[in-house]
């Protein structure tokens, strides 16, 4: 099996195909700290792509409640356990090697899904979810109770046999009272598990933007993509007997939506986000497969310069192109498992943001057009305080976002304007 370089891991790893990289890579950042779990993104995706027979259970975009929940249920726990069984006690990070451009999070010394798969004679390690695991998009939303009730007095449907309306979780404290929402779409990975596993070679990465697609004319419904994608984003459609997955709304990314006159646009789920937690775009890829330096691209700045946004389960080895600003209130050990050893740095950067980072964060969901470049116009200091013993100064800077043509697409101020309704227009009754 060939070796490829994975910069998330800081080392080479096994992969069934030789290294090949697109000119640009479709990527995105979710700010977990701002998600409302309103599910507007999920319904925008559902109403756009997934309203036909046989697609009832397909959620290309979903929002999970952690530490419980998931779609399919507990997919992340299962994948982690499967790798651990092949490599007991070896899933560790070495952060002492120093963080460099080609290894920003240190070096992962454990096994990826491809390393573990090769050891047992598979393209990648994985499993096929059961019907029960596909059944619920989320469970125990907004609670910090355990799943003990599922196995104590509750049948396999997830409801009490006698009084389903009285179903509750177990009493606290099961763990510290916390939860957060995890937003997920296909990560359009650099080294997709689905692509590696497909015996029909029906899955491919587009050379122009790195979007991962399924050629449904070649697909024969073997479900290998479902089995060996660790994020479980390819889904089998029983009515057509082929697999489907997120297509990253590629006509919008190509600029074919008439709303913007040929300019690349964000996907439907991104554009619909009420909480303004999403930023999506395209980043340049160098000849070496790493992201080419593009200092004024907001994605490059957040991910590579500030490192405030981190990949989901980088230790699995797919080099996902979906990144997250980690939840600041969750236990560090839990989220280090999800986002790797860069968590502490990312949270500190977010809690006490630099002047530039605070300005760039205003671009999240500020425009439907993809922002390729930003600029910051300095403004006056409007606030000063101490956060965790560190001095924080807020300036009312103005951040500009430019589209692919170099035209201004958005202009945002750091300090949100306050509008006071005139007294004569106030209706108190």
Q: How many CA atoms lie within 13 A of 108 on its CB side?
A: 30
User: What is the reported pLDDT for 151?
Assistant: 47
Confidence at 155, pLDDT banded by 50, 70, 90? very low
Among 249, 259, 255, which residue's Cα sits nearest to residue 49? 249
**Does position 240 have pLDDT exceeding 60, yes or no?**
yes
User: What is the reported pLDDT for 157?
Assistant: 46
The structure tokens 């979903």 sit at 62
Confidence at 252, pLDDT banded by 50, 70, 90? very high
Which of 236-245, 248-257, 355-364, 412-421 is the least confident region? 412-421
Report the alpha-carbon distance of residue 69 to residue 142 in Å, rounded: 10
**Does position 82 have pLDDT exceeding 50, yes or no?**
yes
Structure tokens, 2: 């060939």
State pTM to two decimals. Answer: 0.90
**Does position 172 have pLDDT exceeding 80, yes or no?**
no
Contact 83, 110 (CB under 8 A): yes
Helix (H) or strand (E) holding 116: helix 113-119
User: What is the reported pLDDT for 79?
Assistant: 96
- Between 40 and 422, name the one with better pLDDT: 40
264-277 mean pLDDT: 95
Domains in the chain (CATH in brackets) are: 3-142+179-346 (3.30.70.20)
- Going from the C-alpha of 227 to that of each of 5, 70, 164, 198, 268, the distances in angstroms are 24, 16, 33, 10, 27
Q: Is 273 left (phi over 0), alpha (psi -120 to 50) or beta?
A: beta
**Does position 6 have pLDDT exceeding 50, yes or no?**
yes
Confidence at 150, pLDDT banded by 50, 70, 90? very low
How many CB atoms neighbour CB 37 within 10 A?
18
Contact 124, 114 (CB under 8 A): yes
**Does position 159 have pLDDT exceeding 80, yes or no?**
no
User: What is the reported pLDDT for 165?
Assistant: 42
pLDDT tens across 64-79, in order? 988 877 899 889 999 9
Among 276, 395, 297, 231, which residue's Cα sits nearest to residue 26? 297
Confidence at 143, pLDDT banded by 50, 70, 90? low
159-182 mean pLDDT: 58
User: What is the reported pLDDT for 129?
Assistant: 95
Which of 150-159, 255-264, 395-404 is the least confident region? 150-159
Confidence at 268, pLDDT banded by 50, 70, 90? very high
Confidence at 98, pLDDT banded by 50, 70, 90? low
**Does position 141 have pLDDT exceeding 80, yes or no?**
no
**Does position 171 have pLDDT exceeding 50, yes or no?**
no
pLDDT tens across 216-228, in order? 999 999 999 999 9
User: What is the reported pLDDT for 156?
Assistant: 46
**Does position 188 have pLDDT exceeding 80, yes or no?**
yes
Q: What percent of the chain has pLDDT over 70?
A: 90
- Going from the C-alpha of 84 to that of each of 14, 90, 293, the distances in angstroms are 17, 8, 36
pLDDT tens across 28-76, in order? 999 999 999 999 999 999 999 999 999 999 999 999 988 877 899 889 9
Helix %, strand %, coil % of the chain (to 5): 25, 20, 55
pLDDT tens across 356-406, in order? 999 999 999 999 999 999 999 999 999 999 998 899 999 999 999 999 999
Please provide the average confidence, as pLDDT, over all residues in the chain.
90
Confidence at 421, pLDDT banded by 50, 70, 90? confident
């Amino acid at each position: 099996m060939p070796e490829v370089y994975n910069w998330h891991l800081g080392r080479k790893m096994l992969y069934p195909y030789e290294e090949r990289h697109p000119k640009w890579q479709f990527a995105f950042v979710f700010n977990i700290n701002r998600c409302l779990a309103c599910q507007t993104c999920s319904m925008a995706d559902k109403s756009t792509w997934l309203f036909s027979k046989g697609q009832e259970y397909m959620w290309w975009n979903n929002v999970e409640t952690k530490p419980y929940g998931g779609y399919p249920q507990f997919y992340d726990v299962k994948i982690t356990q499967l790798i651990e069984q092949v490599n007991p006690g070896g899933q560790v990070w070495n952060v002492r090697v120093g963080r460099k451009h080609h290894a920003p999070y240190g070096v992962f010394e454990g096994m990826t899904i491809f390393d573990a798969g090769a050891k047992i004679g598979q393209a990648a390690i994985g499993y096929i979810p059961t019907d029960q695991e596909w059944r619920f998009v989320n469970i125990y939303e907004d609670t910090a109770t355990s799943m003990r009730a599922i196995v104590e007095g509750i049948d396999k449907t997830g409801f009490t046999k006698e009084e389903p309306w009285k179903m509750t979780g177990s009493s606290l404290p099961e763990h510290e009272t916390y939860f957060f929402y995890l937003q997920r779409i296909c990560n359009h990975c650099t080294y997709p598990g689905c692509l590696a596993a497909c015996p029909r070679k029906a899955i491919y990465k587009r050379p122009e933007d790195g979007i991962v697609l399924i050629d449904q004319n070649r697909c024969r419904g073997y479900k290998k993509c479902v089995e060996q994608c660790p994020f479980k984003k390819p889904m089998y459609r029983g009515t057509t007997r082929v697999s489907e997955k997120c297509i990253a709304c590629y006509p919008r990314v190509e600029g074919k939506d008439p709303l913007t006159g040929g300019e690349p646009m964000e996907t439907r789920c991104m554009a619909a986000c009420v909480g303004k937690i999403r930023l999506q775009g395209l980043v340049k890829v160098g000849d070496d497969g790493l992201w080419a330096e593009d200092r004024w691209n907001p994605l490059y700045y957040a991910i590579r310069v500030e490192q405030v946004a981190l990949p989901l389960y980088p230790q699995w080895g797919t080099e996902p192109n979906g990144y997250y600003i980690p939840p600041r209130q969750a236990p560090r050990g839990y989220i280090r498992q999800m986002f790797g050893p860069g968590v502490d740095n990312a949270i500190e950067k977010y809690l006490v943001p630099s002047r530039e980072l605070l300005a760039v964060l205003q671009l999240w969901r500020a425009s439907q057009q993809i922002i390729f470049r930003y600029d910051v116009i300095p403004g006056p200091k409007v606030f000063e305080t101490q956060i965790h013993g560190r001095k924080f100064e807020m300036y009312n800077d103005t951040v500009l976002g430019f589209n692919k043509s170099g035209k201004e697409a958005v202009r945002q101020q750091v300090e949100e304007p306050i509008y006071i309704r005139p007294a004569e227009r106030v209706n108190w009754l």
